[in-house]
Structure 1
């Protein structure tokens, strides 16, 4: 039976027991499952993600909001519902969580909302695919005010977010600048360059390199002693799964033109771009997405184990 908390969160028994016993737990988002992968494959990846976390010695906590309750750790039936073709789940950032709970709605959690809900539940590590960032200015505009809520949450919530950088459609230089301004450490895992999701390098450097989970845990623990902000661990996509540069660049150019022609902005940018990559790559982008998120789940779990041991 789940333990329902006064603030509208429900933590599964397995996750609650692990937290009580100070065992490692890794949060996983649900937007990837409901909006980022096709039906069938999304449930398969959901199972693989949770199995990967378990195999590395931690407890998985997939997060979603169903019928007005923020669930920290999903049962099989809840996971089936999130991945169902006709689930119709809304995409919930942090600003949407309170209204969704108050109005009894259902939705999948983004990086921002998953980070915040995990932190509220006492989970310090969250593994995902890619981070949101600063969008490039619209044609004719000098600057953009389109900045992902992911960055603001990282500035305020002390979660370790393990991801494969940001997508190359974003303004990566500005994204890194916002993270620096908000005192969010950016660690490159076995790399000196900040990754760009499908590609191992964006061409921008990372401030600090770490080469094993113990070093990550040491840096995170020390940061938490002096600051309240989160930490970003940038883990490049496995080399064997990296998308070829020519294919990536062609799809990106086409995708940017598609966004311009349709006038797509804000939270609609990523779904449109992902769909174009999925359709135009013949499945390569789906394989890449799966490979990188599984690698991040494994690294997140290994780091969570080290944090609990320290």
Structure 2
């Protein structure tokens, strides 16, 4: 393991590292991939520590990593292990984190790093926490389930996820299944606009996905139908030198596993009542609600959550999708042939990651 922290960015998008940050440990595989400008996809770890029960959480995490590898990209699951920030976990580390009775992990956002690190604890990084590390290490593509957002009743509680603020601070392309259904999607989209975050639906319509449901009543500002188009957006963002403001691509859950909006909203309303009765608030509210929803739905919500994260693996096994991906890549390469002659290796790797990885999320 190397203890690395970025010192300055190169024109290629690669980074020079120093040893000033003794908390940061980047795996040899991820370090080598970044050095060679190979595609790297970041993965958060609260799904392991707080999002699913054991052992489904470990199984899901390993399968998602395998889906990334199947596209010749390197997975970089990010977590805190015994007071170190790990970028790229081994199987044993994922298994230990997943058994929460042993690991006793802390849900770690930006604010929590100093406490968790100084006390040498374990932690699952939220979307915000993962973005912090991505920005430091230089990883530009990050895949997750549902992002946090503005909670229902936020006008009274002011409960707004730090994920939104961090999306505005950092410079990362995030692929997710939209905003968690337990949140206020309309207010979340408004807040993202305020933070300067480009939001687009990846698919045929602009209707923004609602995690368990394919569509919500709210539209994203933009709609992107192909992975190549998404890659063009990412490159334009980089070429414009917009130093902050991430890109958020919302991907609907596959049709067979999507919930009817009315039925899932009834379940969410009941779960919110239970949370109020139990006095649950703050960062404990989301894990509590997800657990309640899983119970009230007879485990169907958990299955949907797992299947979304496995979606890329399902598409990887589909030869027709592979053929379409190759076609899209050829078209993309042909249209940008002259420009590509002057393209750095880092830019090419970034576009390659976007085209290959995002393609397998298309519905």
SS in 2 for 1:236: coil
2:14 corresponds in structure 1 to none
The gaps in structure 1 that reach 5 residues or longer are none
2:264 corresponds in structure 1 to 248
How large is the Cα RMSD of the aligned pairs? 2.1
- The alignment of Structure 1 onto Structure 2 pairs a total of residues equal to 304
Higher RCO (C-alpha under 8 Å, 6+ residues apart): 1
Deviation at 1:144, TM superposition (A): 4.1
Q: Contact 1:163/1:293 (CA < 8 Å) preserved in 2?
A: no
Match of 2:41 among 26, 32, 37: 26
Change (3 A) 1:19 1:297: farther
The answer to whether residue 93 in structure 2 is matched with residue 78 in structure 1 is yes
Distance 1:46 1:305 in 2: 24
The gaps in structure 2 that reach 5 residues or longer are 5-19, 316-324, 330-347, 355-363
Deviation at 1:3, TM superposition (A): 0.8
SS in 1 for 2:310: helix
Residue pairs, 1:185-264, within 5 angstroms: 185-190=198-203, 191-226=205-240, 227=242, 228-264=244-280
Residue pairs, 1:85-164, within 5 angstroms: 85-86=100-101, 87-137=103-153, 142-164=155-177
2:184 corresponds in structure 1 to 171
Range with greater deviation from structure 2 (288-297 or 263-272): 288-297
Distance 2:275 2:89 in 1: 35
Distance 1:85 1:95 in 2: 21
Listed one character per residue, the Cα deviations across residues 39-78 of structure 1 (whole Å, up to 9, x for unaligned) are: 1111111110100111122110111101111000001221
Distance 2:25 2:100 in 1: 25
Distance 1:196 1:82 in 2: 28
> What is the TM-score normalised by the length of structure 2?
0.79
Deviation at 1:246, TM superposition (A): 4.6
Distance 1:309 1:262 in 2: 44
Q: Contact 1:128/1:297 (CA < 8 Å) preserved in 2?
A: no
Q: Which protein shows a greater Rg?
A: 2
The answer to whether residue 322 in structure 2 is matched with residue 307 in structure 1 is no
Distance 2:168 2:58 in 1: 32
